[in-house]
């Protein structure tokens, strides 16, 4: 059965405690696999997924760049040490940082020409990896998957927030 696929993959003999647990574990397992695919594409270029994410955010921000805090807020996965990410990308000359003349506490970050060129070389391989992993579903099922994941994320955020209101 397709429903037992995850149990077989993780070699679990007992049934899951609930359908919600099985769905959550399927989501985590799938996300982990997708992460491994992304890591494999980026590894030859010396980038982590978080660094790649920062570069994409900055490319999208345009020539004015963003405040460091704004980049951190936009990241797909939260990274507790964004400063270290910026340090490495700056050492590799993929980004530039500059203190604001108005407020010295604010640091603006921009993608460099080298960072833009690197992303351009990665656009197609990353797109191909995503396409290869997902295109078996077809457009209708992918749209449905997106809607389901967005719904789950919204419920998870709401549940997370309300769980700590009573604490």
Over residues 105-141, the pLDDT tens digits come to 888 999 999 999 999 999 999 999 999 999 899 999 9
Over residues 55-102, the pLDDT tens digits come to 999 999 999 999 999 999 999 988 888 989 999 999 999 999 998 778
Residue 145 DSSP SS3: helix
Confidence of residue 163 (pLDDT cuts 50, 70, 90): low
Q: Is the pLDDT of residue 152 over 80?
A: yes
What own/partner pairs with CB < 8 Å and gap ≥ 24 does 152-159 have? 152/23, 152/27
Confidence of residue 153 (pLDDT cuts 50, 70, 90): confident
Q: How far apart are CA 12 and CA 126, in angstroms?
A: 32
What pLDDT is recorded for position 11?
Answer: 87
Contact (CB, 8 A) for 89 and 115: yes
Confidence of residue 164 (pLDDT cuts 50, 70, 90): low
Which string of b and e fits 68-83 if b means at least 16 CB within 10 Å?
beebbeebeeebeebe
Over residues 25-60, the pLDDT tens digits come to 999 999 999 999 999 999 999 999 999 999 999 999
What pLDDT is recorded for position 49?
Answer: 95
């Amino acid at each position: 059965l397709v429903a037992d696929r995850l149990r077989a993959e993780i070699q679990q003999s007992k049934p899951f405690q609930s359908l919600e647990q099985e769905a959550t574990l399927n989501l985590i397992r799938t996300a982990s696999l997708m992460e491994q695919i992304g890591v494999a594409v980026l590894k030859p270029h010396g980038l982590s997924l978080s660094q790649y994410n920062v570069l994409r955010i900055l490319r999208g921000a345009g020539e004015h760049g963003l405040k460091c805090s704004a980049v951190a807020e936009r990241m797909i996965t939260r990274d507790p040490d964004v400063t270290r990410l910026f340090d490495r990308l700056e050492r590799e000359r993929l980004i530039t940082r500059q203190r604001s003349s108005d407020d010295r506490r604010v640091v603006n970050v921009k993608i460099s020409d080298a960072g833009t060129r690197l992303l351009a070389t990665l656009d197609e391989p990353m797109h191909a990896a995503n396409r290869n992993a997902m295109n078996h579903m077809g457009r209708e099922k992918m749209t449905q998957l997106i809607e389901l994941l967005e719904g789950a994320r919204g419920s998870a955020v709401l549940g997370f927030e309300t769980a700590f209101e009573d604490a």
